[in-house]
Structure 1
Amino acid sequence: MAFGTLQDVETRGKTVLVRVDLNSPMDPSSEMILDDKRFREHIPTIQALDDAKVVVLTHQSRPGKKDFTTLKSHAELLERLIRRPVIYVDDIFGKGARDAVQSIRNGEVLMLENLRFNAEENLTMKPEEAKKTHLVRRLAEMGDLFVNDAFGTAHRSQPTIVGLPTAMKTVAGLLMEREIKMLSKVFSGAPHPITFILGGTKVDDSIAVAEHVLQNGIADRILAIGVVGNIFLAAVGVDIGTPSRQLIESLGYCGEIQKAERILASYADRVVIPSSVAVRMDGERREYPIDRIPQDAPILDLGSSSIHDMVSLIQSQGTIVFNGPAGVFEDPDFAIGTYELIRAASTVEFSVVGGGHTAAVIEKMGLESAYSHLSTGGGACIEFLTGKKLPAVAALESSWQLFGKGSPD
């Protein structure tokens, strides 16, 4: 890799700033954290720094949202999970924070306040601009080394993500390293045939991924499901019914139909679309072939024949990259497609999941261990799969050029 990792640096006795992504679902009334998955993913990196003075940098939500709050609950949960005291300071870089950082000893963990309480962290900026912010300058003064483990925010050009690596020696944490290694394998080294299952409602991201992996010969097939599947059905002239058309319009995705048409013009034999769908009529699940979809019923899942065909295809693949559900999986009547495709994908040799809803369903099904990799960053993962260099990765590489490669710690 073109950037440094924890194996490349001495951390004993150092004050190490560790950027993690503990942004989690919360109950705003009680400030209780409802899902500790992101915490658990970062534990190995924090444990690997048990000979250092660890200063945890993270955020929760963003200004204007109900769960934009302090990190007191986060510090308490992290403390329980790592079974070591976590000192919480309700300050980011003021005197309270500086004094607290100076007073911690080797093996101790301190968590500073929600980084997004500082307005600068909510800005998008280039690394050199970010380096000049008060936030980056003050934080850099507090530490000897910066470890970026926040893959969930790797697609953001925010000061701590791109500015701190410009201001001080920076390496990737264990989670960041694993994410990049596993996602990179999709592009080089994954067993063929490779199929990308693209679903859910983030159609523009999925279309961008489809375009990239087909044009560059990365994917042997694209399997379009969910709203992404409806876009491709519309692109081949299928009348998907008024409710499904209106949903595409309300999401602002009408232009994606033309992009899907262009993809199909070049790669029709490599794009698999549903042959049947399930709709809600009179409060019940009903199934129809795609040439007889009712005008007034919303498409909420794949039909049984589609599920059967797609499961058979998935089971014959060497690699599956799964991003997005097949329908309204929260409703048991319309969860069948999502569940069956997830079960099938768990049997292939190499399987990657792009975080978000799909990963949540996999965990609910107890199939995490059957998958090669469940990404912790939905947005970061999908951007990586479009072939773009993530700002965090570019910053890690630049920092290693500036401060690493044999220079003293």
Structure 2
Amino acid sequence: MGVYSKIKGLSDVNISGKTILLRVDFNSPIDPQTGVILDDKRFREHLYTIKALESAKTVIITHQSRPGKKDFISLVPHAQRLSELLGKQVRFIDDIFGSCAQEMVRSSKTGDVIMLENVRFSAEENLKLSGEESAKTVLVKNLARMGDIFINDAFGTAHRSQPTIVGLPEVLPAIAGLLMEREVENLSKVLHGAPHPVTFILGGTKVDDSIDVAKHVLYNGIADYVLVVGVVANIFLSARGYDIGKPSMDLVEQLGYTGQVEIARDILSQFPDKIIVPEHVAIKKDGARVEMHVRDIPEDCPILDLGSEGLIQCLDAIRKSHTVVLNGPAGLFEETDFSFGTHEIIKAAADAEFSVVGGGHTAAAIEKMGYETKFTHISTGGGACIEFLTGKKLPAIAALEKSTERFA
């Protein structure tokens, strides 16, 4: 597994006849009125791993939402949807680690798939704990009694230091599932060994995360260019001394990112030739799209997309790149009038030799366009992907490495 060769995968162990505790991330959009799952993308991503475990008993551990949210519900619809996708019955148990769950696992046969109740119904799973602390929880102790091997396939929660993520690898031999392997291999290649030139396109509204990624890839020579769009670009435009207008500045303040302007100014001073900040933008004026240079925008009009001249500059940089990492839309793509920049960048990025997408809204836009098969890799974990690209060791990865050493 490249730079994470300390982690074992399915090809490294014999799972035949074993009971597997499989941590996945089935957290999905739910209709609050009906409880119906609105998007089963995450289920489909995990199918490869689940099908690869046919010679074992599979006990699925997963979650939906978190306490206090309207979509914090039982996993009955999740078991039904997985049954439909697998073409076989998934046995659901409305228990997590009690006697009912223990008995169902004991009485099941090789090839059976069991889904436990929403693991976040256990208060301990909602705590941020170290691996050692997690191993002492009632949750981990009782789950561990049911399995022989722990497989973590939940990249979407890999940045969470929670009991099922970091505690089970302390007490059971732990390996990565096929989805986790794919995520780690592709994101590792971005940081170590991607074909140059490498261009990072950072957009959307999560400015602090994007700036952390920009700093890491520029200071470490990973990126040849960083192209900023969306609200991230507004921060850099402000750092260049432009007045981005009251609506755009109000949004920056509402999101709590005014302090990022000074950081952006510092990055621009250190990497003037590597940061691409398009200055030709599209605003909303009297309800319509109007394009102009940022210096000319009226005080009361929001910047909502790239302008055509700004887009030409972006596409030129993308087409010269062998690797493109795309994270965040270029504007308010949900509105047709302001989807132009996002859609054109997606089309250009898809043609790169090695193309990686950071999940989230960008992945949703790509799927809507029918472009998902045109990218090398689309991450299933927005937050986890961003943390990985800032060079941080994710808790789930560290836990798998530690388990490999312990149970070698």
**Coarse TM-score class (shorter-chain normalised):** over 0.9
Residue correspondence of structure 1 range 163-182 to structure 2 within 5 A: 163-182=167-186
Q: Which amino acid aligns with 1:253?
A: Y
Aligned counterpart, 1:114: 118
Residue 329 (structure 1) aligned with residue 333 (structure 2): yes
State whether structure 2 residue 222 is matched by structure 1 residue 218.
yes
Partner of 1:87 in structure 2?
91
Query: Within 5 Å, which residues of 2 pair with 1:140-155?
Result: 140-155=144-159
Quote the offset at 1:167 in angstroms.
1.0
Matches within 5 A, 1:1-400: 1-400=5-404
CA distance in 2, matches of 1:202, 1:310: 20
Does structure 2 retain, via aligned residues, the 8 Å contact 1:225–1:273? Answer: yes
The worse-fitting range, judged by mean Cα deviation, of 286-295 and 43-52 is 286-295
Alignment deviations for residues 314-360 of structure 1 (CA, whole Å, 9 cap, x no partner) = 11110000000001000000000000000000111000000001011
Whole-angstrom CA distance in 2 between matches of 1:337 and 1:268: 23
CA distance in structure 2 between the aligned counterparts of 1:91 and 1:257, rounded to whole angstroms: 49
State the one-letter code of the partner of 1:6. Answer: L
Asked if 2 retains the 8 angstrom alpha-carbon contact of 1:274 and 1:290, the reply is: no
Displacement of 1:116:
0.4
Task: Kindly provide the amino acid, as one letter, of the partner of residue 395 in structure 2.
Answer: P
Shift of 1:103: 1.1
Deviations 1:268-322 (A, max 9, x none): 1100001211111111011110211211001110111011111121111100000
C-alpha displacement of 1:371: 0.4
Post-superposition shift, 1:189?
1.7
| 1:262 CA drift (Å) | 1.1
In structure 2, list runs of 5 or more residues that go unmatched. none
Q: Runs of 4 or more off by more than 6 Å in structure 1?
A: none
Q: What is the distance in 1 between the residues matched to 2:105 and 2:298?
A: 64
Q: In 1, distance between residues paired with 2:138 and 2:304? A: 49
In structure 2, give the amino acid aligned to 1:355.
G
Number of matched pairs: 404
CA drift of 1:126 comes to 0.7
Aligned partner of residue 243 in structure 2, secondary structure: coil
Contact 1:236 1:261 in 2 (8 A): yes
Is the 2:199–2:323 contact (alpha carbons within 8 Å) kept by the matching residues of 1?
yes
Q: CA deviation at 1:127?
A: 0.6
- Which whole-Å deviations, capped at 9, do the CAs of 1:23-64 have from their partners, x for residues lacking one? 000101111101111000000100010000000000000001
In structure 2, distance between residues paired with 1:224 and 1:264: 12
Within 1, Cα distance between the matches of 2:173 and 2:219?
Answer: 37
Q: Which amino acid aligns with 1:389?
A: K
Q: Aligned partners of 2:257 and 2:97: how far apart in 1?
A: 42
Q: C-alpha separation between the residues in 1 aligned to 2:161 and 2:298?
A: 45
Report the identity percentage.
60
* Whole-Å separation in 1 of the counterparts to 2:285 and 2:297: 11
Once the two structures are superposed, residues 42-101 of structure 1 have per-residue CA deviations (whole angstroms, 9 ceiling, x without a partner) of 001000100000000000000011100000000000011111110000110011111111
Which secondary structure does the structure 1 equivalent of 2:129 belong to? coil
Q: TM-score scaled by structure 2?
A: 0.98
The amino acid across from 1:8 in the alignment is D
Match of 1:407 in 2: none
Mapped to 2, the partners of 1:84 and 1:51 lie a distance apart of: 15
Say whether the 8 Å CA contact 2:236–2:264 is kept in structure 1. Answer: yes
Residues 224-256 of structure 1: per-residue CA shift (max 9 Å, x gap): 000000000001101000000000000000111
Q: Deviations along 1:116-143, whole A, 9 cap, x unmatched?
A: 0001101111110011001000000110
Letter in 1 for 2:151: V
Query: Counterparts of 2:22 and 2:146 in 1: how far apart (Å)?
Result: 12
Counterpart of 1:26 in 2: which secondary structure?
coil
Does the Cα contact within 8 Å between 2:95 and 2:116 map onto a contact in 1? yes
